A and B are shown apart, each in its own frame.
Chain A
Amino acid sequence: MPGLVREAAKRALDDAGMTWADIDAVVIGKAPDMFEGVMMPELFLADALGATGKPMMRVHTAGSVGGSTAIAASHLVASGAHRRVLVVCFEKQSESNATWALSIRLPFTGGNVTGAGGYFAPVIRAYMRRANAPDHIGIKVAVKDRLNALKNPYAHLNLPDISEEQVRESPMLWDPIRYLETCPSSDGACAIVLADEDTANAAPNPPAWIHGTAWRSEPTMGAGRDVVNPHAGRDCAKDLYSQAGITDPRRDIDCAEVYVPFSWYEPMWMENLGFTDEGAGWKMVDDGSTSLDGDLPVNPSGGVLSSNPIGASGLIRFAESALQVRGMAGEHQVDGARRALGHAYGGGAQFFAMWIVGSEQP
């Protein structure tokens, strides 16, 4: 674990032209401590992250934690508390069995140890029925993201032979989610440096400017709750777009890194995020709009479907959106990306964290 987080942090510092001494505070995020079997691991990781003598905070908001950690850290700069904050998120899933850790017993339910897939499969079914979505949409997303991942050297999965046929033939895990339509269990870390205006303007590489941040939570269960198209996600996007001055997200946003751990969540989030009308998200997949050469490339990095160190997955979305507007995304760069969305969700889709970054200072 110390090596994992330190390697990511060191690369972020190098990118920012900084050393450990330049950092004023460290904010670390990860999903449940039981994934690694260490209670509050930030305590023992403080040294590896050069945090001795500095403020260190630890965020945990389920799968959305990567996004929440970046937002919490952004407040420390915006408030004037610090000028340069190191943000690090990680997960080392190989230390445990995530499906067990994600099979929590909610009140009045049986514990059937089906993990996150078991929780989300009925939600996806509901979406398919509601939107009249054809069966192949999830398969198309699964192939697209794995092809994108081939252009990203940091992607966990490298599946050069991926095809719709291969996805269709892969074992059905939680109907309708097939093996190749789900995310892998990954070890990984992600780090970014957030800085104030003067520091950013003096940085050796172009910065990504934060145009807005938003987070929302709603109850796990409740009579008014729409788990397919959550109220919290819609509110979060609305708040975010208003901060960033976005009136037509489909037109104003050049690419999006969206938290899609199961392929069907791409069309579902397209609707929740207001990129298209309710019930039409699957058409964006079907007509190629979300492909790397489409009008709104979604997950050019390969997404959560190609790498899922859970606690870091949200921050990877945020960092990848920043790489795009910095023009530093390498082979998976979206041409001319000037404004990008980073999105994370967690729990039973009741926690959301998002930001908009741009190449221009707002």
Chain B
Amino acid sequence: MSAPRTYDRPVAIVSWASFETPSEPARNEVEMLLPVLQDALGRVGMTQRDIGFTVSGSSDYLQGFPFAFVGALDAVGPWPPIRESHVEMDGAFALYEAVEVLQHGDVDTALVYAFARPSRGELDRTLSIQLDPYAVAPLWPDARGLAGLQAQAMRDSGRFGDVPDVPPTTVADGAAALVLAVGDRATALTKTPVWIRGMDHRIEPASLGVRDLTTSPSVETAAGNVGVKDVDAAWLHVLYPHQELLLRSALGLNGARVDAKAGPMMVGGLERFAAAAAGISSGGAKRAVVHATSGPCLQQNLVALLEGVA
């Protein structure tokens, strides 16, 4: 394996905000997102006009009609017109795109956000629509049921000790936003930038039958590429408790303090970056790994290495 890549232009998280509630009854996506964006920008004295690139993550199926990101963009106030893109993925993957765009050299700052209101539907059933539409989805296996297969496979392997039962799928509404800046711009914006030292993500096949659900080759590859070692803390995106055991093993987390959480679907991964940034900037951790996941049974995983001021 080659040495972990180092960024030509170091990127730091300089601000963040997030909001989460079991069920947001009244406000729509734009109304829910607006204070989160204003909070994240306001903490570093910025407005949208100071942002070079804006990118978001969301899913139409959680909104219940097409073009969720289009309406949400009103929360940003994209006027005059902005450089902007969107991934139909967890916001953590939007963060990955922003870090790459910042390597380009033409922009120095980025705003990344994610939002979702899954409480309005039946999340367990909605996630069935992610499965192979020809062979699997018509059987409507729900997300919790698939997680149960994974937990049982882990139990059967005998490698994980006591494997917890699978609780109901976490349903939460919320939003998260992060502000990124490059090099000197980051240090000018905050005394405690949280540097992104590396990021990588990998996907596995959708068919559960061809995967060994008790291992996570995608996490292992991504962690190897990023160079995850000697971390003192980990913020993991864990949708069901048994997945924490699997991730601890795949990431080789020996003594590191672990903070594991699901969060709102599509927001949860990005929220892990916000939580890690908060933990690191306050001095609670020096060097940490952050993880985000997507798809059934940890199909797609993103791993990042974050560091505070040396």
Contacts and interface: CB of A to CB of B under 8 A. Distances in A.
27 contacts: A33-B60, A38-B137, A40-B59, A42-B88, A46-B205, A47-B205, A53-B202, A58-B89, A60-B87, A68-B85, A72-B97, A75-B103, A75-B104, A79-B103, A79-B104, A81-B100, A106-B71, A215-B83, A215-B84, A215-B85, A216-B84, A217-B78, A217-B84, A219-B73, A219-B77, A231-B81, A235-B80
A37 B137 CA distance: 10
A38 B100 contact: no
A294 to B, nearest CB: 30
Nearest to B130: A39
Nearest to B225: A55
A78 B217 CA distance: 27
Contact of A56 (B8, B54, B103, B300): B300
Nearest to B103: A79
A109 to B, nearest CB: 12
Contacts of A328: none
A130 interface: no
B134 to A, nearest CB: 9
B103 A78 contact: yes
B80 A72 contact: no
Nearest to A1: B133
Nearest to B222: A55
A347 B100 contact: no
Contacts of B96: 57
Interface stretch (B62-70, B187-195, B278-286): B62-70
Interface string A201-221: 000000000000011111110
A214 B84 CA distance: 10
A290 B282 CA distance: 61
A39 B61 contact: yes
Q: Which of A45, A53, A68, A230 has the most CB of B within 10 A?
A: A53
Interface in A208-244: 214-220, 222, 224-225, 230-232, 235-236
Interface in A33-92: 33-34, 36-47, 51-62, 68, 71-72, 75-76, 78-81
A217 B73 contact: yes
B204 A72 contact: no
Interface in A1-58: 1, 31-34, 36-47, 51-58
Contact of B80 (A53, A214, A231): A231
A107 B126 CA distance: 25
Interface string B1-23: 00001001000000000000000
Given A43-B300, A53-B217, A217-B54, 4 more contacts: A43-B295, A60-B60, A217-B73, A218-B80
Contacts of A53: 202-204, 217-218, 221
A155 to B, nearest CB: 26
B206 interface: yes
B201 interface: yes
Contacts of A217: 54, 73, 78, 81-84
Interface in A164-201: none
Contacts of B67: 32, 62, 104, 347
B200 interface: yes
A38 B79 contact: no
A44 B130 contact: yes
Contacts of A37: 129, 133
B300 A39 contact: no
A253 interface: no
A33 B61 contact: yes
Interface in B33-78: 54, 59-61, 65-67, 69-71, 73-74, 77-78
A101 interface: yes
B299 interface: yes
Contacts of A46: 203-206, 299-300
A75 B100 contact: yes
B131 interface: yes
Nearest to A217: B84
Interface in B252-294: 294
B245 interface: no
A344 interface: no
Contacts of B74: 219-220
A57 B82 contact: no
